[in-house]
Amino acid sequence: MGGQNLAGPGGGLPPIPTWLTERAGVDYPVIGAPMFKITYEELAAAVSEAGGLGCLATTNYPTQESLDEALERVRRLTRRPVGANLHLSEKFPWRESLRACLRQEVKIIITSLGNPARVVEEVHAKGGTVLACVINLRQARTAAQAGVDGLIAVGSGAGGHGGHISTMVLVPYLARETGLPVIAAGGVATGSQLAAALALGACGAVVGTRLIASTEAVASPAYKRAVLEASPEDIVCTDRVTGNPANWIASSIQGVERPLAADSPAWKDLWSAGQSVAQTREIKGAKNIVEEIVEEYYRVVARLPGLDRAREGAGQPASTGEARG
C-alpha cells in the first residue's frame, strides 16, 4: 500500500535514509516481521505509524475475502505504507493472497519458502517491489535470477524459519556475491543491533521476536511471558514442527514429532522465537518499540569509537555528541 512519507514520526528524530526507506517510502529501515499467528492488522499498522514498514502475514488469512478485509482495515488504521508476506509453498493459497495484495495496491511483497519467480512479473507489473527471504547463497542466486529487487538475509538467530549462517556473515556475503540490496533478519531487536546491521552493509533489518512482546501482537499472555523469560540457550532449531528448519522456545515443542497442519489448534501452544529474546525484557506498544530502536540507533552511532576522526578525514565536522541525521 502506498502512503505519504512524513519525516520523523519517531519522537521527532530524523529519517535514516537507505535503499529500503526510499523504495518503501518509510522513514526508518525497520521491517516488522510478518509472523504466523502473531502479526495482524494492529501490529502491522503500529509499526508503520512509527515510521517503519509494517507487514501483514497473509498466512493468517485463510481466504481471499478475509485478507481483503484485513487490508482494508489496516488502511483505516494507518495511511503509511504497509507490506505483505507470501508463503510460496502449497500449504497456503498464495495465488489468491497475491491477487488480493495487488488489488489493494500493496507495494512491498516479501516472499518465503518458494521460488519468487512465481510472483515477480505480476508484482513488477503493478509497480511493486519483491524482497525474497533467503538463508544461503544458492537461494540468493535463485532469487536474483528471478529478478527480485532485494534480499532478506535470514540468519541463524532468527525466529521462525531460518538458516545456519550467522547474520553477521550472511549479510555482507550475499551483498558481495549478488550485488543486490540486502536486509538483515535474525538477532535484531535494539538500536545497536540495527546500527550493526547497517554497518555490515544491510539497508535495513527485520524485527520479529522483540515485537512478539508488544501489546498489539496476537500472542497469548503465556507466550509473551515465555519470550520475556527465555534466554538464547532456550532457543532450538528443528524441522519437526513445520518440515523446515525453524527456531522455537524449546519447552513449547516438547512432544512434537512431526509437522503440523496449518490449521491445527496446537499452534497456539507452539512458540517460535529467535535468539534476540536476550534483548526482549518488557512488553510495550509496537510504536514505542520502533521509536526506542531508532533513538538507540542514533545514540550508538554518535558515540562510535573513532567517529570524529573518520568525519575529519572525510571533511565533515566533528561530532558534538548529539545524534545527527
CB environment 21-52: b (16+ within 10 A), e (fewer): bebbbbbbbbbbbbbbbbbbbbbbbbbbbbbb
Query: In this structure, what C-alpha cell is assigned to residue 173?
Result: 556475503
CA distances, 222 to each of 207, 212, 229, 233, 268 (Å): 21, 11, 10, 19, 10
Nearest CA to 200 out of 164, 165, 236, 160 is that of 165
Predicted confidence at residue 3, as pLDDT, reads 45
Predicted confidence at residue 320, as pLDDT, reads 36
Report the percent of the chain where pLDDT is more than 90: 79
Report the percent of the chain where pLDDT is more than 70: 92
Beta strands 205-207 and 182-185, pairing class: parallel
Q: Is the model's pLDDT at 32 over the cut of 50?
A: yes
Question: Which residues, 6 or more positions from 316, have their beta carbon under 8 angstroms from its beta carbon?
Answer: none
Instruction: Return d(Cα 184, Cα 255) in angstroms, integer.
Output: 32
What are the structural domains, with CATH classification, of the chain? 19-223+272-313 (3.20.20.70)
Nearest CA to 11 out of 200, 306, 274, 293 is that of 293
Beta strands 160-161 and 246-249, pairing class: antiparallel
The residue-averaged pLDDT of 95-110 equals 96
pLDDT in tens, 139-148: 999 999 999 9
Predicted confidence at residue 2, as pLDDT, reads 53
Residue 315 pLDDT class (50, 70, 90 cuts):
low
pLDDT in tens, 203-245: 999 999 999 999 999 999 999 999 999 999 999 999 988 888 8
Residues in the chain: 325
Q: Are 55 and 34 in contact (CB under 8 A)?
A: yes
pLDDT in tens, 1-23: 654 343 444 447 899 999 999 99
pLDDT in tens, 37-96: 999 999 999 999 999 999 999 999 988 899 999 999 999 999 999 999 999 988 889 999
As a whole number of Å, the end-to-end CA separation of the chain is 27
Predicted confidence at residue 53, as pLDDT, reads 98
Predicted confidence at residue 258, as pLDDT, reads 81
Instruction: Return d(Cα 132, Cα 139) in angstroms, integer.
Output: 9
Three-state secondary-structure class, residue 7: coil
Query: In this structure, what C-alpha cell is assigned to residue 170?
Result: 550472511
The whole-model pTM stands at 0.91
pLDDT in tens, 166-201: 999 999 999 999 999 999 999 999 999 999 999 999
Phi-psi region of 120 (alpha: psi -120 to 50; beta: other; left: phi over 0): alpha
Instruction: Return d(Cα 98, Cα 187) in angstroms, integer.
Output: 29
Predicted confidence at residue 267, as pLDDT, reads 82
Instruction: Return d(Cα 301, Cα 321) in angstroms, integer.
Output: 10
Q: Express the helix, strand and coil content of the chain in percent, nearest 5 each.
A: 40, 15, 45
Predicted confidence at residue 243, as pLDDT, reads 86
